[in-house]
Structure 1
């Protein structure tokens, strides 16, 4: 199984092109300024909010949730607006100091300095080691051709290999309801060996 391709939506800042980012900035700025005035959040959300990247992400999410809650529906008396207040707005404002640091910011200047994110230099080596220790394919350890399964079947199979074989239809479990059921691959029958902790081909 491969990782499905990610298709970013219109609010994923990391993947926006110039035009999409420009349009989202305009929408977000208007919404945040409305929010600050309407809820008297001028002191809680400082004028330099747009320079605080984590807060931009949070406010974007809050705006999207607000739009979803307040848009026209068949039932105009749905509970969306109330839910937005106690599930989105109030929790976000309660977390404000954890979201970003306004301590050095004033109404006239931004004193925020984003922390540099360091990644240990060993990450590449770690990932390389992790990838190398894995099998080259999900079918490694057992044959993929049912016609030759009986003659080529491995002597032992790990639990992971057994599950993959059953899930892909290569193996047939005798009792699908039993997690440790014996199964067959072609003419070869495998039974779970408690001592070995793996499946062993029956003689």
Structure 2
């Protein structure tokens, strides 16, 4: 979508200038929204393409790697989303825990991270080269993870398919990073440049 600019006559009145600026801003916003919409459609198509037809069980999906969400490219993230969505659907159905994992879990970053870790551990423990007690250890971890998952949901209170954005009642102050750096520098200033043990050995 093309953006539009408004040409003004020489020495226009203030209200005309304001109207022209507003019109330009609205045009730019509309173009940005259209671009975002197209990106969303492309990403959705990419995620759907990564799914193999007829795949609906966790064991039929290969685990992508790496799983660091922060570092994933668009293509890698699409593969990871497709894999994780299928695995979580299997997990909820197999262990009958829809009351513990809300259907809107993809909209909650903490749940995404927790479930990604669980999925990775599940695939690893059932690998051909895994130790025989791997599945048992995974179920023990699942038991602990279920408590954490319920803890996250206590904040979101998502029920019956209704998503509730988790409120951020408390946030760090804007200057927290500078304060942290100052504290770290103050700690470093009081540390010796070399280990006292190393100095003793040299003497």
TM-score (norm 2): 0.58
Q: Give yes or no for contact 2:102–2:161 (8 Å, CA) kept in 1.
A: no
Structure whose CA Rg is larger: 1
Cα 1:131/1:110, change in 2 over 3 Å = closer
Out of 81, 84, 87, the position equivalent to 2:135 is: 81
- The separation in 2 between residues aligned to 1:128 and 1:104, in whole angstroms, is 36
Q: Give yes or no for contact 1:62–1:89 (8 Å, CA) kept in 2.
A: yes
Residues 73-120 of structure 1, C-alpha deviations (whole Å, 9 max, x = no match)? 276xx100011001x211111222223337632223212334266222
Q: Give yes or no for contact 1:70–1:80 (8 Å, CA) kept in 2.
A: yes
Post-superposition, which runs of at least 4 consecutive aligned residues in structure 1 deviate over 6 A? none
Structure in which a larger fraction of residues adopt helix: 2
Q: Give yes or no for contact 2:157–2:164 (8 Å, CA) kept in 1.
A: yes
In the other structure, the counterpart of 2:171 is 118
RMSD value, Cα: 2.8
In the other structure, the counterpart of 2:195 is 163
In the other structure, the counterpart of 1:90 is 143
| Structure 2 gap ranges (5+) | 1-64
Structure in which a larger fraction of residues adopt strand: 1
The yes-or-no answer on 1:32 pairing with 2:88 is yes
TM-score (norm 1): 0.58
User: Which gives a bigger RCO, structure 1 or 2 (Cα 8 Å, sep 6+)?
Assistant: 2
- The separation in 2 between residues aligned to 1:52 and 1:115, in whole angstroms, is 13
- The separation in 1 between residues aligned to 2:169 and 2:71, in whole angstroms, is 21
| Structure 1 gap ranges (5+) | 1-8, 136-157, 177-182, 185-203
Q: Give yes or no for contact 2:156–2:166 (8 Å, CA) kept in 1.
A: no
